[in-house]
Amino acid sequence: MERDDLIVNESYALNAKHDEAAGKQIRKKLYAVTVLLTVITIVEVFMGVAFKRNGTFTWEAIKLTFLVLTLVKAAYIVLIFMHLGDERKNLKYVVLLPYALFIMYLIFIGLYEGVSVQEGHNIFG
* The predicted structure's pLDDT at residue 56: 66
The yes-or-no verdict on residue 90 having pLDDT over 60 is yes
Mean pLDDT, all residues of the chain: 79
pLDDT score of 12 more than 60: no
Which pLDDT tens digit goes with each residue over 99-115?
889 988 988 888 777 76
**C-alpha pair distances (Å), 125 with each of 10, 75, 112, 120:** 67, 40, 17, 12
Q: How wide is the angle at C-alpha 106 spanned by C-alphas 103 and 109, nearest 5°?
A: 150
Integer Cα distance of 91 and 84 in angstroms: 8
Average of per-residue pLDDT across 19-30:
86
pLDDT attached to residue 101: 92
List, in order, residues 6 or more apart from 18 with CB less than 8 Å away. Answer: 26
Determine the pLDDT at residue 16: 63
Higher pLDDT, residue 66 or 54? 66
Residue 78's CB is within 10 A of a number of other CB atoms, namely 16
